[in-house]
């Protein structure tokens, strides 16, 4: 609908996740009206991020160095590993400031439908990290859905052969939520996991 490169830019934006054709058009027009310096900055940042950012050799988190900031930090508890599906989950957990151990990013979850088996995940590197006996507890923090639960079950069986404590994040009512609106599975889990007060 537009001349040459404007349409190309709209098409490119439309390929990004979560951006439909209308948003893509809106963003392209925003770019047209943004100072040239700012657009060059964004363009350079895109290239830099893609060139310089990689995944940590140890945990799989995003990093500008072979080892990420968390794996490099000696103050982190080296006896505790939290296993997550995705690097985005690391950021989510870091935001809570509750966890001071290390991470291990699997790069997905077991999903027979999507054709993802245990061999497609970073499970072998996890077993290597556990081999020297430093780690005392592995927290399984995969998503509380079908694939995440399947992955947690698979890992817990695998890890129980080692002398390591294996835990799973608690399921229950979300804080600030309404009991009335909780689904039955979540409410069931909340009963199951009830604690003395």
Point out which residues bind its own copies (CB under 8 A).
Answer: 1-6, 8-9, 12, 16-19, 23, 25-32, 34, 36, 39-53, 62-64, 68-69, 86-88, 91, 94-95
Q: Supply the minimum distance, in Å, between the C-beta of residue 88 and its own copies.
A: 6
Nearer to its own copies, 24 or 138 (CB): 24
Q: Supply the minimum distance, in Å, between the C-beta of residue 52 and its own copies.
A: 7
- Distance, C-alpha 141 to centroid of its chain: 10
- Distance, C-alpha 76 to centroid of its chain: 19
Q: Supply the minimum distance, in Å, between the C-beta of residue 109 and its own copies.
A: 16
187: its two tokens? 């409410």
Nearer to its own copies, 42 or 185 (CB): 42
H-state helical runs in the chain? 4-15, 21-32, 36-52, 69-72, 87-96, 123-130, 146-159, 184-192
Q: Are 166 and 156 in contact, with CB atoms under 8 Å apart?
A: yes
Q: Supply the minimum distance, in Å, between the C-beta of residue 127 and its own copies.
A: 25
């Amino acid at each position: 609908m537009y001349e040459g490169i404007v349409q190309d830019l709209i098409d490119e934006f439309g390929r990004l996740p979560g951006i439909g054709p209308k948003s893509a058009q809106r963003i392209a027009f925003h770019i047209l009206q943004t100072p040239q310096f700012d657009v060059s900055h964004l363009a350079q940042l895109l290239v830099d991020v893609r060139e310089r950012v990689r995944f940590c050799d140890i945990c799989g988190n995003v990093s500008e160095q072979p080892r990420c900031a968390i794996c490099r930090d000696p103050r982190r508890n080296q006896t505790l590993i939290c296993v997550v599906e995705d690097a985005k989950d690391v950021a989510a957990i870091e935001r809570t400031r509750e966890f001071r151990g290390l991470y291990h990013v699997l790069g997905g979850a077991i999903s027979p439908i999507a054709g993802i088996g245990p061999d497609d995940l970073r499970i072998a590197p996890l077993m290597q990290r556990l081999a020297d006996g430093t780690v005392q507890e592995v927290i399984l923090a995969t998503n509380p859905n079908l694939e995440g639960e399947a992955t947690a079950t698979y890992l817990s069986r695998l890890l129980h052969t080692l002398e390591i404590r294996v835990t799973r994040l608690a399921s229950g009512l979300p804080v600030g939520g309404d009991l009335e609106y909780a689904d039955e599975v979540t409410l069931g889990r909340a009963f199951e996991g009830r604690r003395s007060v």
